[in-house]
Chain A
């Protein structure tokens, strides 16, 4: 999104200055706004709002309408708050063919659907930079699976899903040579391809698998959305740089009057795959899965994909011309209308699925793009929203026949009627809105009630915090004819797309603890009786338990410089909201945060002889401060026997424990 800032910098500054003068906050926030967002202490919000973290790589969860931050779910970046990416069990989640990637860029989210409606089982998230798709489990609010996408670079038009979550898509924003051969950059037109991946999702487990990839001509796949209802067998991708420029895209990719919406008949693609028309291609990508029974992740390296070539396989792909570098590509709840938002266009084209299929049947084409038929613009067009605003980006729907489009340049949300493409209402945003979200607003059944704007610029909105300011969300009531601004609140990272779902769909399915009896971590201690310290060469495994308010063992001796120590800490608590933390002085790896019934592992390699205190870092009880212990590290070769315990077992050894 920052690129848009660059593109429009001059225009934008003028626009902002103007809008600041005109749009006074006092004039916009009207009576009753406070009472509409007030959620009394101890009361729950009505909606969960899952918001992408952009450059933070994480997903944050807010309650609506209060805007209260409920949780940050680590997905594509390490997270010091709960040890994600630091503990031995979680490290495989962030492993890729490029090695361990600690920080990525997370843009879009999609909640799983059944019959085109949110079912609240999983949340899908994309990693933009090192192309990956993640699946989050909405009973645990944890990342359950991460799948790397080969033949991709800049996984932007992702992770949008089909209406029964059959597939998650991943479209590459950068075209690249298909096997990443070493070729001149200027050979873009000959060698570069845009690959769209279709990832199948197991109905029961949610496990992801790359079912097939489609090698499209070189261009940039930007955003996408599935068809629904009548158009449910189709997927629509917006594109830019159909000029195929490889430098100064700001100018060179803005030459043509129109780029395309790529319409993929994925049912047809499925048939081609089933009948063996795809080419098996050797490649390499990581598939990381979290196991809730062992509380640990494993990585598997996959080595093959099936590639489909649209220049040979007919009736699978069609192009719809779309004005001026379209960004958002959004399908209305009926599945009939496809909205393309040209970033540089002064209108919003709305395409009709019925007319589009008729154009194909009538062969009403204006030509082809590398062998892919291009239907005539007018033949597929339902209508154009004239002079809606400047810089249209994304559109969501309220299920009442209205569309809501965000306008980056003119900093506003515009409500318009789909049927007669007429503007109905507009409200300012503060400032420079990117994405927007209506609960269920991209599904067959929007819940409506609110639209949330995700803004890039906050400038004068909050107390200043130095050069780095937060991005922000703004909440509007859309239950009436006129949109009403209710609230704004700063966000984590830079929010791009977001999803909102009624809390009632999710909240009663939430996991509260891990059943200790189902803990199959290989290093679990099933009760204090099972705690031990085991030496194997220079590896020392400490099987430790934590319960209010002591660690067992809490005195450990007979460990030497040069040893690698693994603390496997099992939290024996079985009550909701009683995690324990674990930290060792000088551990340059991490700390741990261990949920009730869970086992986590911290690797510690002491770099000196001496005493290494350890303690619980998460306030757990009145005697939390007492929850501490000592690890004694002795010089290599010294005559200190291995000894460990808590309480009487250690007290008994006291007399003989002096040097």
Chain B
């Protein structure tokens, strides 16, 4: 999903929210490319550059490995199989949550780590995470990953995105 699509989704999600809540504020549309010029209901507009946002949580900087750490990739894959695959595909197809293809381009590694380990606070406070919830309509479960497990999952995502 590129940024433009994400914005479009966010807007339609806002409409959904408006429908269910019966109202919203009267901010201007976030972009003039929206198919239907409805006012946006989100109070916090998505960050201008989503891929730079680091999210809410303890991860401020994540050192990336080059080349990929294959041990972590393997560990990440087994965690994915048990705890993540019910809702996320490795393609770009949305199941319950978004497909993971391209996630490491869309999101900063810190944001991913924070979302995976600090799920509830992210869903409550982070504008990007909130926007996603409006799309998916299910709160991402906190799957209780330890820090090193979250890091392994990130490595698996990077592998899935062809990073090295």
**A623 to B95, Cβ gap below 8 A?**
no
CB of B139 to closest CB in A, whole Å: 7
Q: Do A621 and B138 touch across chains, with their CB atoms under 8 A apart?
A: yes
Q: Is the C-beta of A578 less than 8 angstroms from some C-beta in chain B? A: yes
Say which residue of A527, A549, A552, A575 sits within 8 Å of B82 (CB atoms). Answer: A527
* B43 on the A face (CB < 8 A): no
CB neighbours (8 Å) of A547 from chain B are 86-87, 141
| Residue B143 CB within 8 A of the other chain | yes
Q: Which residues of B contact A572 (CB under 8 A)?
A: 82-83, 86
- Given A550-B96, A574-B83: A623 in contact with B138 (beta carbons within 8 A): yes
Is A513 interfacial (CB-CB < 8 Å)? yes
Cβ–Cβ contact B86 & A513, under 8 A: no
Task: Tell me whether B63 is interfacial, beta carbon within 8 Å.
Answer: no
Selected contact of A552 from candidates B81, B83, B86, B142, CB within 8 Å:
B86
Q: Are B85 and A578 in contact (CB under 8 A)?
A: no
Q: Are B141 and A529 in contact, with the CB atoms below 8 A?
A: no
In the complex, are the beta carbons of B85 and A528 less than 8 A apart? yes
Q: Which of B85, B86, B137, B145 contacts A623 (CB 8 A)?
A: B137
A549 — nearest CB in chain B belongs to which residue? B138
A513 touches B138 (CB 8 A): no
User: Are B141 and A526 interface neighbours, CB within 8 A?
Assistant: no
Chain A residues, CB < 8 A from B119: 575
Given A549-B96, A550-B86, A550-B96, A622 and B138 contact (CB-CB distance below 8 Å): yes
How distant is B111 from chain A, measured CB to nearest CB, in Å?
20
Name the distance in Å between B131's Cβ and chain A's nearest Cβ.
16
Once the chains are docked, how many angstroms separate the CA of A545 from the CA of B83? Answer: 11
Chain A positions within 8 Å of B141 at CB level: 547-548, 573-575, 578
Cβ contact within 8 Å between B95 and A647: yes
Q: Is A517 an interface residue (CB 8 A)?
A: yes
CA distance A151 to B55 in the complex (A): 66
Q: Which of A194-227 contact B (CB under 8 A)?
A: none
CB nearest to B140 among chain A residues: A548
Produce 1/0 per residue, A538-564, CB < 8 A to B.
000000010111101000000000000
A604–B86 Cα gap in the complex (Å)?
A: 25
Query: Is B142 a contact partner of A575 (Cβ separation < 8 A)?
Result: yes
Binary flags per residue of A494-538, CB closer than 8 Å to B gives 1, else 0: 000000000000000000010111000000001111100000000
How far, in whole Å, are A573 and B143 apart by their CA atoms in the complex? 6
Chain A residue nearest to B82 (CB atoms) is: A527
B143: chain A residues within 8 A (beta carbon): 573-575
Of residues 82 through 111 on chain B, the ones whose CB sits less than 8 Å from some CB of chain A are 82-83, 85-87, 95-96
- Least CB distance, A631 to chain B, in whole angstroms: 20
Select A527's contact among B81, B137, B138, beta carbons within 8 Å: B81
Give 1 or 0 for each of B117-153: 1 = CB within 8 Å of chain A CB: 0010000000000000000011101111100000000
Measured between alpha carbons, how far is A301 from B23 in the docked complex, in Å? 66
Rounded to whole angstroms, the CA-CA distance of A575 and B96 in the bound complex is 17
| Closest chain A residue, CB of each to CB of B139 | A621
Q: How far in angstroms is the closest Cβ of chain B from A319?
A: 58
Set of chain B residues within 8 Å of A513, measured between Cβ atoms: 144
A621, B87: Cα distance in complex, Å: 14
The interface bits of chain A over 424-448 (1 if a CB of B lies within 8 angstroms of the residue's CB, else 0) are 0000000000000000000000000
Q: Smallest distance from the beta carbon of B39 to chain A beta carbons, Å?
A: 24
From A529, A548, A621, contact of B81 by CB (8 A): A529
**How far is the CB of A549 from the nearest CB of chain B, in Å?**
6
Please state if B144 and A527 are interface contacts (CB–CB under 8 Å). Answer: no
Contacting residues, chain B, for A623 (C-beta < 8 A):
137-138
The answer to whether A516 touches B138, judged by C-beta atoms less than 8 angstroms apart, is no
Across the interface, which residues of B come within 8 angstroms of A573, CB to CB? 141, 143
Contact between A527 and B83, CB atoms less than 8 A apart: yes
Q: Which residues of B contact A545 (CB under 8 A)?
A: 86
- Please determine whether A575 and B86 come into contact, CB atoms closer than 8 angstroms: no
| Contact present for A516 and B96 (CB under 8 Å) | no
> What chain B residues lie within 8 Å of A530 (beta carbons)?
81
A648: shortest Cβ distance to chain B, in Å?
A: 9
The smallest beta-carbon distance between A646 and chain B, in angstroms, is 9
Q: How far is the CA of A552 from the CA of B137 in the complex (A)?
A: 20
Q: Which of A526, A527, A529, A647 has the most CB of B within 10 A?
A: A527
B residues within 8 A CB of A574? Answer: 83, 141-145
Q: Mark A566-597, 1 if CB is under 8 A from B, else 0.
A: 00000011110010000000000000000000
A548 touches B85 (CB 8 A): no
In the complex, are the beta carbons of B142 and A548 less than 8 A apart?
no
10 A–B contacts, CB within 8 A, in A order = A545-B86, A547-B86, A548-B96, A550-B86, A550-B96, A574-B142, A574-B143, A575-B141, A621-B139, A623-B137
Besides the known contacts A526-B82, A528-B85, A548-B87, 16 further A-B residue pairs in the complex with CB atoms under 8 A apart: A513-B144, A526-B81, A527-B81, A530-B81, A547-B87, A548-B96, A549-B96, A550-B96, A552-B86, A573-B141, A574-B145, A575-B119, A575-B144, A578-B141, A622-B137, A647-B95
Q: Which residues of A contact B (CB under 8 A)?
A: 513, 515-517, 526-530, 545, 547-550, 552, 572-575, 578, 621-623, 647
